[in-house]
Chains A and B, each alone.
Chain A
Amino acid sequence: MAQNSYISAMAKLVAPLDRILMMLIFAVLALSLAIQFSANDMSLQATQQHAVRIGIGLLALLIMAHITPRHLKRWTPALFLLNLLLLVAVVFFGSGGTAQRWLTLGPIALQPSELLKLTIPMVVAYVLGPSLPPLSPFRVTLALMLVAGATWLVAIQPDLGTALLISAVGVSVILLAGVSRRWVLGLGALASISLPFVWQYALREYQKDRIRIFFNPEADPLGSGYNVIQSKIAVGSGGLSGKGWTQSTQAQFDFLPEHSTDFIFSVYAEEFGLIGVATLVALYLAILWRVVALSRTGPDRFSQLLIGGLGLSLLIHILINIAMTIGYAPVTGSPLPLLSYGGSAMISTLAAFGMMMAARHYARVHLK
C-alpha cells in the first residue's frame, strides 16, 4: 500500500512532463556534460558544478511544470516587474567584466537579463492574450513599450547583444500573437529610420567596432575579430568525425576565448565533427518541433502564446549562437541553450520547458 501510494505520488509528480521532450532534453544535457568536461580542461570540479546547475534547472523545470497557467498568468505582472527591478539593480550594484551583468546575492550570482528570456514571452502573452486578432492597438503598443523598456535596461548595462536578442524575442512573440500587416510594415519602417540614429547616438565605440568586425573579421585578427577567426578554425578543423572527445586543441591551448560559454559550440564541433554537429542540430530541431506540437491547442490564448513565445526565444538563441561561431552573426556574448556553462541560462532554459509542459498539461486536463 505504502509502495503504491509512493508510486502514485511519483506518477503525479511527473504527470505534467512531456516524455518525448524530456528525452530530447536529457540527450542534449548528456552532450552538455560531456563537452563541458572537455572545455574545462577535464576539471571534475567544473563539470560537477555544471551538473549541479543542471540539477537545479531540472528542479526548476519540475516546479514550473506544476504551476498552472492560471497561476502563472496571475503572477506574470509581478514577475516581470521584479525582473525589471533586478535589471535596475544591476545598473547600480552589478558586477562583471566590461559590462555589468551579474547581481551577486551571497553565494548566488544572478544574471537578470537571462530571466528576461522567460518573462518577456510571459508578459507579451499576458498583454496580448486577452485580445483576439485584430489586436487592440493599445495592447500592441503596451507590449512594444514593455519590450522596449526591458531592452533598454539591458542595453545600458551595457549588453547590446542580449538586448538585441531580448527585443527579437519580444517582437517575435508579438508577431506570433497576430498583429496586422500594417503594424509589421510600420514597425519595420520605424526601425530602419531609427537605425542611423541608433548608430550615431546610442552605440558606444566598442559596440560599433563589434559590428564592423562582424562584417570584416580579418581586419583585426588579433583584436575583436580574433574570436571569430579562432572559432571558425575550431569548427572547420573538426572535419567529418571530429578530433575526438577532449581533443580540442583550440580550447586546450587557449586559442579560443570563452570556450566553455559563448563558444562552446565551436569546441563541440571541433571534437565531434560534422556527425556531432548534425546530431546536435537534429536534437534542437526535434525539441523545437515538439514545442510546436505542444502549442497546437491551448486552453487559453495566454498558454498558447507562452509556449510559442518560449519556443521562439529558444530558436533565436540557438540560431544566433551557432551563426556567431561561424561568423554569420556578431559576437553578442549570448550562450547556447542547454550547452553553455553558466547557471542563469541553464536554469531559465529548463524552467521555460517546465512552463511549456505545464501549459500543455493543464490544457489537456482542461479539455477533458
Chain B
Amino acid sequence: MASPYQSELNRSFRQTHRRLYKLIGLGSLLLVLLLVRIGWMQTIHTEYFTALSTDNHLRQIPVAPSRGLIFDRHGVLLADNSVRYSLSLIPSQVDDLDTTISQLRELADIHDRKVKRFQQRGQNRKFETTPLKIDLSEETIAQVAVKLHQLPGVYLEAYAARRYTYGKSTAHVLGHLASISKKDRERIDLYRYRGTRRIGRTGIEHQYESLLLGAPGLQQAEVNAQGRSLTLHDRKAPTPGNSLVLTLDAGLQKVASEAMTGMEGAVVAIEPFTGDILALVSTPSFDPDVFGHSIDPDDYQNLIRNTKTPLLNRAIQEQYAPGSTIKPFVALAGLESGHAIPGEKFYAAPQFKIPNYRRPFRDWKDEGHGWVTVSSSITQSCDVYFYSLAYRMGIEALEPFLAQFGLGETQQLDLPGEHPGLLPNEAWKQKTYSQPWYPGETVIMGIGQGYLMLTPLQLATATAALATRGIRMKPRLLRAYNQSGEMIENPPEEIGRVTLSNPAWWDLVTNAMVDVVHAPNGTARRSGLDAAYRIAGKTGTAQVISYGEERPDSEDLPENVRDHSLFIAFAPAEAPQIALAVIVEHGGHGSTKAAPIARQILDAYLMRPL
C-alpha cells in the first residue's frame, strides 16, 4: 500500500535516526571521557589544584616583631621604636610606573636619586613592596591617603623606626641599625628576619641582635587577582624582641658625654666589683637618628669623611700610649719583683742615663724631683724613678706583670670591635721588626711611652683591678634581659686575679694615688679640692710625637701634635664604687683636661641624690 517513495522515506527516517544515534553516542562518549578527566582532577589531583587555589588568594604575610627595648641600670629608657610611614609600591600592580611616580612626586617631595634607586631595586622585585620614600611627614601621609584609591599598587606602609632617647651620648654604646645587606643574608637565619628590613650593625644593637630581634608573626591575607589585600586574618602574633637592661647609668653617661663636648677622646667608667660599665663615651659622636631609617648617602659620606672620625668608638677601638697613668702598675711590678722597696729613698736627677746610651731620658720636671720614694714618685709622677725601676726590672719582669691586668688583650666586653691594644715584649719585637728588644725601650715603657698602647677600656678595667685589690671582673654592658616577662640575669664574672706577695702594697699604691689628688704636691691636686670623698687617681700626659732633648711647652704646639691628656681614678678610695679612665686627645697635661672631667663624673656619680 505504501508507495515506493513512502517506504524509501521511512527507510531514510530509520537511517537518519541511526546516524543521529551514532553521532550523539560518540558525543556522549566524549562527554563521559571529559567527566572522567574532571573526576581525576577533582579526586586524585585535587590537592595539587587546591594548593594552587590557596596560593592564588591567600598570601602569608610575615609580620615583623617589635625590636626589644633597651633600658639603663635604673630602668631609664634608652632605645625604643616609633611608627613611621613609607610610600611604597608593588611594581607589578602599577599600570604605568612613570605616570604613577610623577603623580606621587606631586604629593610628596621625592628626590631624583630616590626614584633612580627605586627603579633599580624595583627591577628585581616586581611583586614585592618597594619603598619609594620613607619617613613621611603627617601632611604627606594625609595627602597620599586621600588619593590612595586612585593609585593601584601604591601603599602607605607603617614601619618601626628605632629611636634613641639619649641620642648622641649613647650612640657608640647602643650602635645603630642598618638595612640587611647581602653579606648579612648569607649569615643570618632568613626565616627569623621575614618582614624585618633592618639589622643591628654596631654596638649593643649588633651584639645582642638575636635577643633584640624577636620572632616574626604571620598574617594571612586574602588577595584578589590584582593583589590588593581584602581581608586580614591573624594567624600567629609576632614574638617581640627581648628588652635589655644595661649596666649603663644614663645620667652618668650624659654627664660624661657633656663634659667631653668639643673634645676628642673617651671616658670609660666601671663599677669595680661587678665589672658593670657605668658610662662609655667616645667623642665626637654622631646622631644615631640618621641611621634610624635608611641613611641619606650625603649624611653617611659626611660621617665617613669627617677627619675627627665620629663613627669610631674611641673607648674600645682606639689605642693610646698610657703615659704616666701606667706608673701605679709599674710600681706594683717593682714591689712584687723586689726592685722597689717601700720607703726606700731614691735620688731623682733631672735625667736618667743608661750605659752605652748617648741620649739621656729626661724628666718632665727640668730641675728633677730630688729625693723620692716609690710612693712619692707616683704622687709627683717622677719620671726618673720609673725609668730606673723599669730599667732594673727589665722587660722580662715588667711585661708578664702588666699582662696580669689584662693589658694587651681584649677585655671581653660585650660590644663588638674591641681593640686588643699592645703590650710589647721581646718576642713581639723580634716578630714584628726582626730586631732585639733594646733596654731603652723598657725605660720609656716605665712611663707609659714607646710601644705600649692601651684602649681607654683597658685603662679603666686595670684601674678597676687596682680598686678591687686585684680582682679582675669581666666588664659587662648587659645586666639582664626580659624574656617573656621573666628577667634573666647576666651575672658578674671574675676573669682573673692579680695576687701580690704582700697585700699591703695595694694600700701603698692606693695611698700614693690618693695623694695625687689630695696632697699639696699631687699632680692633680686642683681636681681634688673640696671633694666630699677621697679619690685615688693618676694623671697621664702622653706624647704624640717624640722630640729631641728640648721639649717645647704643649700649649705652643699646633693642636694635632699636642700631648694627650689622661687621667685614671677610683673612688671613694676606701670603698671604691667607681673606677674610670678619661682621655682627651691633644688635651695637654693630664691634670688640665682629663682630671677635671673625671672629677665631674665622680661627683655626678657619688654625690647624686639617693
Q: Which residue of A lies closest to B49 (CB)?
A: A236
* CA of A233 to CA of B21, assembled, Å: 35
Do A289 and B24 touch (CB < 8 A)?
yes
Q: Which residue of B lies closest to A308 (CB)?
A: B20
Do A232 and B41 touch (CB < 8 A)?
yes
Q: Is A250 an interface residue (CB 8 A)?
A: yes
Do B12 and A328 touch (CB < 8 A)?
no
Do A326 and B23 touch (CB < 8 A)?
no
Q: Is A295 an interface residue (CB 8 A)?
A: yes
Q: Which residue of B lies closest to A177 (CB)?
A: B16
Output the least CB separation between A295 and chain B (Å): 6
* CA of A274 to CA of B37, assembled, Å: 10
Q: Which residue of B lies closest to A243 (CB)?
A: B53
Q: Is A59 an interface residue (CB 8 A)?
A: no
Output the least CB separation between B17 and chain A (Å): 5
B49 in complex: contacting residue of A132, A237, A284, CB < 8 Å: A237
Q: Is A44 an interface residue (CB 8 A)?
A: no
B52 in complex: contacting residue of A233, A297, A311, CB < 8 Å: A233
Most buried by A among B13, B41, B42, B49: B42
Do B53 and A277 touch (CB < 8 A)?
no
Report chain A residues within 8 Å CB of B53.
Answer: 233-234, 236-237, 249-250, 270
Given A176-B16, A237-B49, A292-B20, A281-B41 contact (CB < 8 Å): no
Do A253 and B20 touch (CB < 8 A)?
no
B37 in complex: contacting residue of A239, A278, A328, CB < 8 Å: A328
Do A274 and B225 touch (CB < 8 A)?
no
Q: Is A355 an interface residue (CB 8 A)?
A: no
* CA of A254 to CA of B223, assembled, Å: 10
Given A236-B49, A285-B31, A319-B30, A172-B41 contact (CB < 8 Å): no
Q: Is B397 an interface residue (CB 8 A)?
A: no
Given A133-B15, A323-B34, A236-B222 contact (CB < 8 Å): no
Q: Is B38 an interface residue (CB 8 A)?
A: yes
Output the least CB separation between B52 and chain A (Å): 5
1/0 per residue B17-43: CB within 8 Å of A? 101110110011011101101110111
Report chain B residues within 8 Å CB of A254.
Answer: 224-226
Output the least CB separation between B22 and chain A (Å): 10
Given A235-B38, A239-B42, A239-B43, A175-B31 contact (CB < 8 Å): no
Q: Which residue of A lies closest to B28 (CB)?
A: A285
Output the least CB separation between B387 and chain A (Å): 83
Do B23 and A175 touch (CB < 8 A)?
yes
* CA of A250 to CA of B58, assembled, Å: 11
Do B57 and A253 touch (CB < 8 A)?
yes
* CA of A239 to CA of B46, assembled, Å: 5
Do B8 and A235 touch (CB < 8 A)?
no
* CA of A178 to CA of B13, assembled, Å: 11
Do A312 and B23 touch (CB < 8 A)?
yes
Q: Which residue of B lies closest to A238 (CB)?
A: B42
Q: Is B103 an interface residue (CB 8 A)?
A: no
Q: Is B261 an interface residue (CB 8 A)?
A: no
Given A232-B41, A236-B46, A281-B31, A304-B56 contact (CB < 8 Å): no
Output the least CB separation between A179 and chain B (Å): 10
1/0 per residue B55-85: CB within 8 Å of A? 0110000000000000000000000000000
Q: Is A298 an interface residue (CB 8 A)?
A: yes
* CA of A186 to CA of B15, assembled, Å: 22
* CA of A296 to CA of B20, assembled, Å: 9
Do A292 and B9 touch (CB < 8 A)?
no
1/0 per residue A167-194: CB within 8 Å of B? 0000010011110000000000000000
Do A132 and B9 touch (CB < 8 A)?
yes
- Find residues 255-275 in chain B having any chain A CB closer than 8 Å to their own CB: none
* CA of A273 to CA of B16, assembled, Å: 37
Query: How many residues of chain B get a CB closer than 8 Å to chain A's CBs?
Result: 40
Do B27 and A178 touch (CB < 8 A)?
no
Given A236-B42, A240-B42, A316-B27 contact (CB < 8 Å): yes
Q: Is A359 an interface residue (CB 8 A)?
A: no
Q: Is B308 an interface residue (CB 8 A)?
A: no
A255 in complex: contacting residue of B17, B24, B57, CB < 8 Å: B57
Do A322 and B31 touch (CB < 8 A)?
yes
Q: Which residue of B lies closest to A285 (CB)?
A: B28
Output the least CB separation between A194 and chain B (Å): 24
* CA of A301 to CA of B15, assembled, Å: 11
Report chain A residues within 8 Å CB of B17.
Answer: 292, 295-297, 304, 308
* CA of A99 to CA of B46, assembled, Å: 36
Do B56 and A253 touch (CB < 8 A)?
yes
Do B45 and A236 touch (CB < 8 A)?
yes
Q: Is A269 an interface residue (CB 8 A)?
A: yes
Q: Is B50 an interface residue (CB 8 A)?
A: yes
Q: Is A305 an interface residue (CB 8 A)?
A: yes
* CA of A133 to CA of B9, assembled, Å: 9
Q: Is A315 an interface residue (CB 8 A)?
A: yes
Q: Is A318 an interface residue (CB 8 A)?
A: yes
Do A240 and B27 touch (CB < 8 A)?
no
Q: Is A288 an interface residue (CB 8 A)?
A: yes
Q: Is B48 an interface residue (CB 8 A)?
A: yes
Report chain B residues within 8 Å CB of A270.
Answer: 53
Q: Is B230 an interface residue (CB 8 A)?
A: yes
Do A235 and B225 touch (CB < 8 A)?
no
* CA of A253 to CA of B228, assembled, Å: 10
Do B42 and A277 touch (CB < 8 A)?
yes
B42 in complex: contacting residue of A178, A269, A281, CB < 8 Å: A269
Do A298 and B27 touch (CB < 8 A)?
no
Do A236 and B13 touch (CB < 8 A)?
no
Report chain A residues within 8 Å CB of B34.
Answer: 281, 319, 322-323, 326, 328
A176 in complex: contacting residue of B23, B38, B48, CB < 8 Å: B23
Output the least CB separation between B508 and chain A (Å): 84
Q: Which residue of A lies closest to B20 (CB)?
A: A308
- Find residues 469-502 in chain B having any chain A CB closer than 8 Å to their own CB: none
* CA of A178 to CA of B46, assembled, Å: 44
* CA of A238 to CA of B47, assembled, Å: 10
* CA of A316 to CA of B27, assembled, Å: 8
Report chain B residues within 8 Å CB of A297.
Answer: 13, 17
* CA of A292 to CA of B21, assembled, Å: 7
Q: Which residue of B lies closest to A275 (CB)?
A: B42
1/0 per residue A300-332: CB within 8 Å of B? 010011001001100110110011001010000
Output the least CB separation between A151 and chain B (Å): 20
* CA of A274 to CA of B44, assembled, Å: 12
* CA of A103 to CA of B9, assembled, Å: 41
Report chain B residues within 8 Å CB of A249.
Answer: 53, 56-57
Nearest 7 interchain pairs by C-beta: A236-B49, A237-B53, A254-B225, A236-B41, A315-B27, A253-B224, A308-B20
Query: Chain B interface (Cβ within 8 Å of chain A)?
Result: 8-9, 12-13, 15-17, 19-21, 23-24, 27-28, 30-32, 34-35, 37-39, 41-43, 45-46, 48-50, 52-53, 56-57, 222-226, 230
Q: Could you list 5 further interchain pairs (A-B, Cβ under 8 angstroms) beyond the known A235-B49, A249-B56?
A: A230-B56, A269-B42, A274-B38, A292-B21, A312-B27
5 A-B pairs in the complex with CB atoms less than 8 angstroms apart: A236-B45, A249-B53, A250-B57, A281-B32, A319-B30
